[in-house]
Amino acid sequence: MTDQELPNGFTGFSRRKPEGFVSAHDAMGGRSPLTDGPGAFGARPRTAASAAPSAYEAASAAFGDGAEAAFQYARDHARPDEGGPAQFDPDKLRLIPALDRRWAWTEVDLNAVRHNVTAVKQRLSAGVRLMAVVKADAYGHGAVRVAKTALNSGADYLGVATVDEAIELREALVNAPILVLSQPPQAAIPLLLAYKVMPSVYTPDFAIQYAETADAYGMRAPYHLAVNTGMNRIGVRHDEVVEFMGQVSFHRALDLVGTFTHFATADSTETLDFQIQVKRFIEAVSALNVAGIDPGIVHAANTAAAVRFPDVHFDMVRLGVGLYGLHPSPVTRPMIDLRPVMSVHARITDVRTVPMSEGVSYGMNYRSPGSVKICTVPVGYADGLRRGLSGRTDVILRGQRCRQVGNICMDQCMFEVDMRTYANRQKLDPQIGDEVLLVGREGNSIVTIDDMANTLGTINYEVAIGFGHRMPRLYV
């Protein structure tokens, strides 16, 4: 390949140098900034003439033992090439833990998952199954680990939203039945069959194509029939289910494994719309039975209905938000003990005293009142800490709530620590590296996902999922 053929405008600098070009390595007399000179990894002792502290000394002063470990790693694993700068072993670099690459993480309490599954299972009659809904990467908690924990705790089925979510579970050797809770595109049918994943079905075209593809491979085409009882999102209309089955059930490969609907208002105090949906669903299932069609596993209850209405447990309930210790509404709080699964943590990356009246963060809509220290943590709205929470949420430092201040940035946010002395409160002295809790409980202080959702005027589902996008997870 010529220089002109290299993609994206890159040229072959490794094979030719522009006229007058001098590399940094040559300019330093053959020394490497990674292995030679003040501030280098593995640096030799400085002479008296070198007054500035080395990078190692500066980092050690700021980060303590963490810097020692990082610099020791560099000294141990740099591999000098003959006549060139030191190079690092990529395999060794990959072993540096995610929590040491960025001081922000979520903790997922798998014991809480076990508790929540057990708490719901105890409300079910013998023989009623439980589906653990792990869509959206288990609501931001990590689908594979949560799915395995739920199954080991008594769940029978798994529910996902997309084919790729199902494939992720199969490739992690999860062998339980998996239902995609909507009808995928027809082009995804070979993936359903290859990975043994059941789709929801509600259009004849998809059902026939699914059956034809399965038959061509000598396979069955199992599915769950989605019934629209009033939410009007997906599904065959409740009074047309027999007609629909007449259009598709002739195909020898199709296998109706289950029939389900979804409640729009099971979490509301007003139950009229809920009761209408229940009546329509029962009539639809009865119509299938009268027509000689076995509806398979009948399921309708989401978390709210599973907790509030035992009469709609049918053959299986679907545990979604409750699996993660979050309540679908205040109505369910006194009815069942659910334990939050997620907490959000960070370490302080900067501490500074900001003079009175000086601003903090974009827009400077917060001004220092004086006698405070402003601390920065590396969590922002790209990590799920929504910008709408700016100045409206707290963090917990050593068991005390501290006010978040200034606009939350994409990757960072700030909070203030009052440095004044109070008779009834221990004075805090924040330091770089101190752990801070953004969601969770420490002592008598607590910040919850529900608090944030209420402040934002949204639901806890949305907030929880946001925290699962970028931060590493620690399973405890």
SS3 321: helix
Type and span of the H or E element at 475:
strand 473-475
- 220, two tokens: 């069955």
CA atoms within 13 A on the CB side of 210: 31
- The closest alpha carbon to 110, from 125, 132, 129, belongs to 132
Buried-exposed string 255-286: b where 16+ CB fall within 10 A, e elsewhere: ebbbbbbbbbbbbeeeeeebeebbebbbebbe
Distance in angstroms (rounded) separating the CA atoms of residues 388 and 413: 12
- The closest alpha carbon to 413, from 97, 61, 141, 104, belongs to 104
Distance in angstroms (rounded) separating the CA atoms of residues 241 and 224: 12
With contact defined as beta carbons under 8 Å apart, do 452 and 464 qualify? no
With contact defined as beta carbons under 8 Å apart, do 100 and 287 qualify? no
Distance in angstroms (rounded) separating the CA atoms of residues 130 and 124: 9
- 285, two tokens: 């299932």
Distance in angstroms (rounded) separating the CA atoms of residues 416 and 428: 11
Distance in angstroms (rounded) separating the CA atoms of residues 381 and 388: 9
Catalytic residue numbers? 135, 362
Distance in angstroms (rounded) separating the CA atoms of residues 39 and 56: 6
- 309, two tokens: 């209405």
